[in-house]
Chains A and B, each alone.
Chain A
């Protein structure tokens, strides 16, 4: 079946086209201006960051060959041709990885416990006093904004080299990050149970314990697990500043050009992060599955 598509007369079409062009032109102008400003900022940033395309082009070969080198054993063979030689230090590295995970675990749990204690004071609907809320919120903001590795740098000096500094750094950062998320959950709860408990003459603590906590526990646990996963990644570099874990070994391997060690340690870190990812994902699924059933 053929049917002619009707086309408007040229005159009418011209009017419509003009109107369309006028409408689009303004949008285009704004878009062009925004793009121009963006590029100007980018160029300034490039100068500020000493970006040198020539170096990049000249050295990009190094990047590829770096991966070639970390894939090669000292004997010149490919790493996977001799797994035993590649992972020669697996006992030591596994122990350090265990330490990394433990740093992250202890830091996250301690941070979660502190955040649990503080968040009810920071949430709008449960906070006993506005000045207290304000103070705690600012405190959490500070803990969250200063990167954990900066805390670690300072704590290494205060507490001495070793995993303790890493744990405390992760703990403080987790207090800030989790405190905010926890108080947001608390702000979203149903207030009716709280009123019910309060109407029986219960104290503030009892209100929190019997009306708020049952509503938020699963959410808190889920965020804590997520934080644990993030902190494992963070703990893997704590060793860079001497705060324990696998990072120390990695930085030494990179700096001393022990190429195959670099790839072995990196691979072990990636696998650990994967496993923790999958594990916490599974645990969070179980947690919420349980919640839905109850």
Chain B
């Protein structure tokens, strides 16, 4: 058996100086960054009043709550909860559809290939950005002031919050569309509306449909929580039961939400596949 000669470190050092003698700044960069991140973390813990005692007390409390949650039990309010769940699904569905319908024309204005002038596009984009910067729950609060408590406020909150997101996503889809079809329509004498309708939309609609389906799914999740501020759906029941410490009902409601989200996830996955499949065939 032959042994490899031990590498001569002096020779290696001479040949690869940059590996052995990295400048101090590059050697210290990552540890310094980690240290800074950790420093802010510790500062945060102190500033936010973390303490081992509170942590322990909280954890034991949490363990106790978890014990109380088992077994999940609706306790005779199952019909009420089912209606609330239906309300939540309705809110998600309607809110998303409304948002998509509103966002489609606006997204055209925010797309570079439709509106080449930046002066006009820029405010539209910033407008969409600021709508997105505000959380759905905040929109729910605003709409409750306008149309009163209830699921309708939830629908409008989801519609507005998603309007911002859709506007951005749709305009990106439109910008990614192939120009050739549009030029074809123009060459055959179509006007701008024809170009959009027959050149752009057939390319963009399947993408948009996929995004809308995905949002219906994620909005089922958002719709479960807007009830916390009084905008209808299962969140209202959930917040109520947590406040009165009915832990078995709480765990049952959480289970219901998990099952509903999984079901919507499954259905929208199937539908998305169907739409994209159709597109591949055409």
Interface residues of A (CB under 8 A from B): 41-42, 44-52, 55-56, 59-60, 62-63, 66, 99, 102-103, 105-106, 109-110, 142, 145-147, 149-150, 153-155, 157-160, 162-164, 167-168, 233-234, 236-237, 240-241, 244, 250-251, 254, 266, 269-270, 273-274
Contacts and interface: CB of A to CB of B under 8 A. Distances in A.
Contact of B58 (A49, A59, A102, A164): A164
A41 B93 contact: yes
B65 A154 contact: yes
Contacts of B49: 162-164
B40 A105 contact: yes
B250 to A, nearest CB: 8
Given A63-B146, A164-B50, A42 B94 contact: yes
Contact of A109 (B37, B48, B129, B145): B37
A159 B229 CA distance: 21
B90 A233 contact: no
A266 B138 contact: yes
A164 B54 contact: yes
Contacts of B204: none
A86 B210 CA distance: 43
B41 A106 contact: yes
Interface in B191-230: 221-222, 224-225, 228-229
23 contacts: A45-B89, A49-B90, A50-B87, A52-B152, A59-B146, A66-B142, A99-B48, A147-B221, A150-B235, A150-B238, A154-B65, A154-B242, A157-B61, A158-B59, A158-B61, A159-B62, A164-B49, A167-B48, A168-B58, A237-B138, A250-B141, A270-B133, A274-B129
A149 B225 CA distance: 7
Contact of A233 (B61, B135, B152): B135
Given A63-B146, A99-B48, A150-B254, A155 B232 contact: no
B151 A50 contact: yes
B57 to A, nearest CB: 8
A140 to B, nearest CB: 13
Contacts of A44: 90
Nearest to A154: B242
B121 to A, nearest CB: 18
A270 B93 contact: no
Contacts of B105: none
B53 to A, nearest CB: 11
B41 to A, nearest CB: 5
B44 interface: yes
Contact of A102 (B47, B129, B228): B47
Contact of B134 (A52, A56, A147, A270): A270
B174 interface: no
A159 B58 contact: yes
Q: Is the interface of B mostly helix, strand, loop or mixed?
A: helix
Given A63-B142, A63-B146, A66-B146, 16 more contacts: A50-B151, A50-B152, A55-B152, A56-B147, A102-B44, A110-B41, A147-B221, A149-B225, A155-B62, A157-B65, A157-B242, A159-B54, A237-B138, A250-B141, A251-B141, A254-B141
Contacts, number: 165
A51 B48 contact: no
Contact of B155 (A49, A155, A240): A49
Given A51-B94, A99-B48, A274-B129, A66 B58 contact: no
Q: Is the interface of A mostly helix, strand, loop or mixed?
A: helix
A103 to B, nearest CB: 7
Contact of A254 (B91, B142, B152): B142
Interface in B137-174: 137-138, 141-143, 145-148, 150-152, 154-156
B151 to A, nearest CB: 4
A274 B155 CA distance: 26
What size tier do the contact residues of chain B reach? 35 or more
A236 B54 contact: no
A45 B225 CA distance: 18
Given A49-B94, A164-B48, A274 B133 contact: yes
A106 B54 CA distance: 17
Contacts of A66: 142, 145-146
Contacts of B59: 158
A121 B87 CA distance: 38
Interface string B221-254: 1101100110010010011001001000010001
Nearest to A251: B141
> Which of A60, A110, A153 has its CB near the most chain B CB atoms (within 10 A)?
A153
B177 interface: no
Contacts of B86: 48
A168 B258 CA distance: 20
Given A153-B242, A164-B49, A55 B147 contact: yes
A269 B139 CA distance: 13
> Which of B41, B44, B257, B258 has its CB near the most chain A CB atoms (within 10 A)?
B44
Nearest to A102: B44
